[in-house]
Structure 1
Amino acid sequence: MAPRANWKGYLRLSLVTCPVALFPATSESEKVSFNQINKRTGNRIKYQRVDAETGEDVDNEDIIKGYKVDADTYIEVTKDELDNIALESNHTIDIDQFVPRDEIDDLYVVRPYYLVPDGKVGHDAYAVIRDTVKATDKVALARVVLTNREHVIALEARDKGLVGLLLRYPYEVRQSGEYFDGIQDVKITKDMLDLAKHIVDQKSGHFEPDNFEDHYEAALIDLINQKRAGRPVAKAKVKTEGNVINLMDALRQSLKGQTATASEAARQPPPAKKAGKAKKRVEGQREMLFALEGKGQKASAKAETKREAGKRPARATTRQKRAG
C-alpha cells in the first residue's frame, strides 16, 4: 500500500509554482505495538469520551476546543473561528529565504519529510526550484501548516527530490545552560585523555545504518513468538555493573578488553560470501513474527498455534483468541 501524503498544496518560489505532496520520510509503523486488554476476560480496552463532571458520553459533534484559563474556566474556540484565521500556508509552501545548512542547529529539527511533485504537471517548475536550491548549496526556508499550526520548514536538495526538515520555533528549544551550568569543571590528565583516545581509535569506523540492530525489538518478537508457541519464557539474568574505583584503571581495563576483542576477531576466518545481493533496506523486524510471514508459513503457524492451544487450559485459549 502506497504511503499517504500528510499535506498537499503548492510549492512557490517567487512566481514559479508547482503542485506538491509532503510525505513523512520516517516511519515507526513497523515496530511491535501492543493493545491494552482486560486481564480477566482477554477483551480489548475501549476508551470513551465522557463529560468529566456528569460522566455522560459526549457525541463528536458536541466536542469543541477550549483554552484553559483557570481550574474551572475555558475559553471556547470553534472550528469556524479557527478557519477564519487560517493562513495562506494552509495550501502553499512559500519560500522566504535561503540560508546555509550548517547554521541550523540540530536542536531545531523536528522530523524530515519528502516533498515530491503531485501529479503529472509541474515537474519542470519543481526541477527549477530543486536545482536552484542545489546550485546555491543552501537550504530554502518556507512555511507550511500541519495539524492546524504553521511551521517553518527547511528544504534541501537530495537525489532527484527535495527533503523538508520541519523546524521548531525558538520558544520550543530549551537553553542548554539550564542543564549544563551545574556540571563541575574537572581537569583530565593527559594520560587519561591518551588512553581514552586509544579506545576511540579502536572503535572508530564509518556510519553504516544497515549495521544498526534494534535489540529490544528483536527481544519483543522473540517473546511474542515463544508465548504464541506455548513455550516457557526464561527470565533474563540481571546484569550488575561494578563500581569504578579508579578512573585510570577503568580506562586501562577498557583498552585491554578492546585489544583482546580485536585480536580474537583477527583470528576468525572471513565469513563466506552469500549468493545474491543483500537487501538495501530492511522493511522492518515485524516480518520475523511467524504470524506475519508468507501464506504457507502463516497456515503452518496457525496450525502450530492451534495444536499448542489444545494442550493448554480452555480459559487460556479463549483469552488468547479474544486478545488477538
Structure 2
Amino acid sequence: MAPRAYWKGTLKLSLVSCPVVLYPATTAAEKTRFHMINRETGNRLKQQMVDSETGDVVESDQKGRGYELRKGKYVEIEPEELEAVQIESNHTIDIESFVPSDEIDQRYLDHPYYIAPDGKAAIDAFAVIRDAMKDQERVALAKIVLTNREHVMAIEPLGKGLLGTTLRYPYELRDEDQFFDDIKSPKITRDMVELAGHILHTKAAHFDPSKFKDQYETALKALVKRKASGKTIELPEPEERPSNVVSLMDALKQSLRGRGGGRPSAKSHGRRTTGRGRAAKKVHRSTARQRKAG
C-alpha cells in the first residue's frame, strides 16, 4: 500500500491533463537520531526561545518574524503581510518546455518525488504523456507550488511512473570560480596521467547503489545496542599516520602494482570501503565522549 500522498493535483501538457499524486522519493526514517537529555534525570530536554539581549524567555504569542537590515537592526514582517506575497497553489503541474537531460546541471537538482496517476480515469492520459517523453528522450520542465513557494520541476519517465525533481534557482548556487580560481595548474608528465588512467581502468564498474553501505549508521546502531544492554564501550587505539613521504610517481606505481592494480572492480569496492571503516571507528571516539547523552 502506497503511503499518503504529499501533493495532489493535475499534470498538464497543453490541452492534455490528468490527475496525479506526488510522493517524496526519499526518507530519513531509518536514520539513527539522538535527543538531548538531562544527564541527572534522564529526561528529554525541550528548547525555549530566549531574547538575545535580555536573556528572558519569550512566550509563543510574543514571537514574530524579522528580516535583518543591518547588524542588530530588524524590520518586522507580519503574518498577514507574508500571506499577501504567498503564491496561491492552483494544484497544477504545468509543463512549459522539454529539454535534453544532459543539459541539466546536476547542481540544480534538489528534492525528488514520485509522480503517479490519481485514479483509473487518469491512467490513459498519464501513459500518453509518459510514453511520449520516453520516445523523445527529453526532460519536461514545469512549475509547481509546494508549501507556498513556486518551484521549477524536472520531470522524466521512471518505470511505470514519472520522477519529478525540484530544481534550485540560480541564486541558490555558489559560483565555482571563488573556490577554483586559486587552484594552480602544475606541469604533470604524460606518464603520470597514463598511470592514473590505468588505475581508473582497474576500478571501472557500473553504478550500483545496493553496494552503498552506511558504515557510520551501522556503527551508531551497534553503539546504541551495546549501551542499552549495559556493555562497556571500548575505544579504538589511535591510528598511526604514515610518516614516509612518497613521491607522486611512486604512489601511482605502487597503486598499480599493489593496492589499486591488477584486481577486478568488485574487489576495488571492498578496498574503497576501508576509508569508510576508518570513519566508522571515529564514531566510537566521538560518541564515547558523549555516551551519556546518547
1:258 aligns with 2:259: yes
Distance in 1, matches of 2:178 and 2:55, equals: 43
Amino acid at match of 1:197: G
Equivalence for 2:233: 233
Equivalence for 1:72: 73
Amino acid at match of 2:132: T
Offset of 1:259 from its aligned partner? 6.5
Amino acid at match of 2:56: G
Relative to structure 1, is the Cα distance of residues 13 and 241 closer, same or farther in structure 2, using a 3 angstrom cutoff?
same
Amino acid at match of 1:168: R
Distance in 1, matches of 2:8 and 2:260, equals: 55
1:179 aligns with 2:172: no
Larger CA deviation: 243-252 vs 174-183: 243-252
Offset of 1:2 from its aligned partner? 4.5
Structure 1, residues 151-192: CA drift from partner, whole Å, max 9, x if none? 100100111111001101111111111111100101211222
Whether the aligned pair in 1 keeps the contact of 2:256 and 2:262 (CA below 8 Å) is no
Equivalence for 1:152: 152
Offset of 1:57 from its aligned partner? 4.3
Q: 1:90-109 to 2 correspondence within 5 Å?
A: 90-109=90-109
Amino acid at match of 1:218: T
Equivalence for 2:140: 140
Whether the aligned pair in 1 keeps the contact of 2:48 and 2:57 (CA below 8 Å) is no
TM-score normalised by length of structure 1: 0.74
Amino acid at match of 2:203: K
- Aligned to 2:42, the other structure's residue is in SS state coil
1:129 aligns with 2:140: no
Larger radius of gyration: 1
Distance in 2, matches of 1:240 and 1:251, equals: 22
Distance in 1, matches of 2:254 and 2:108, equals: 39
Give the number of equivalent residue pairs: 267
Offset of 1:81 from its aligned partner? 3.9
Larger CA deviation: 159-168 vs 19-28: 19-28
Whether the aligned pair in 1 keeps the contact of 2:88 and 2:148 (CA below 8 Å) is no
- Aligned to 1:141, the other structure's residue is in SS state strand
Q: Percent identity?
A: 50
1:245 aligns with 2:246: yes
- Aligned to 1:187, the other structure's residue is in SS state coil
Residue segments in structure 2 that go unaligned for 5+ positions in a row: 268-291
Whether the aligned pair in 2 keeps the contact of 1:144 and 1:152 (CA below 8 Å) is yes
- Aligned to 2:253, the other structure's residue is in SS state helix
Amino acid at match of 2:144: V
Residue segments in structure 1 that go unaligned for 5+ positions in a row: 267-319
Amino acid at match of 2:73: D
Distance in 2, matches of 1:66 and 1:5, equals: 33
* Superposition RMSD in Å: 2.8
- Aligned to 2:125, the other structure's residue is in SS state helix
Q: 1:203-218 to 2 correspondence within 5 Å?
A: 203-218=203-218
Amino acid at match of 2:234: A
Distance in 2, matches of 1:134 and 1:98, equals: 12
Distance in 2, matches of 1:57 and 1:197, equals: 61
Amino acid at match of 1:251: L
Whether the aligned pair in 2 keeps the contact of 1:64 and 1:76 (CA below 8 Å) is yes
Distance in 1, matches of 2:258 and 2:27, equals: 37
Distance in 2, matches of 1:152 and 1:205, equals: 33
Whether the aligned pair in 2 keeps the contact of 1:202 and 1:258 (CA below 8 Å) is no
Offset of 1:90 from its aligned partner? 4.5
1:36 aligns with 2:54: no
Offset of 1:239 from its aligned partner? 2.4
Larger CA deviation: 86-95 vs 142-151: 86-95
Relative to structure 1, is the Cα distance of residues 18 and 50 closer, same or farther in structure 2, using a 3 angstrom cutoff?
farther
Equivalence for 2:87: 87
Offset of 1:25 from its aligned partner? 0.9
Amino acid at match of 1:47: Q
TM-score normalised by length of structure 2: 0.80
Distance in 1, matches of 2:174 and 2:74, equals: 29
Offset of 1:28 from its aligned partner? 1.8
Q: 1:269-284 to 2 correspondence within 5 Å?
A: none
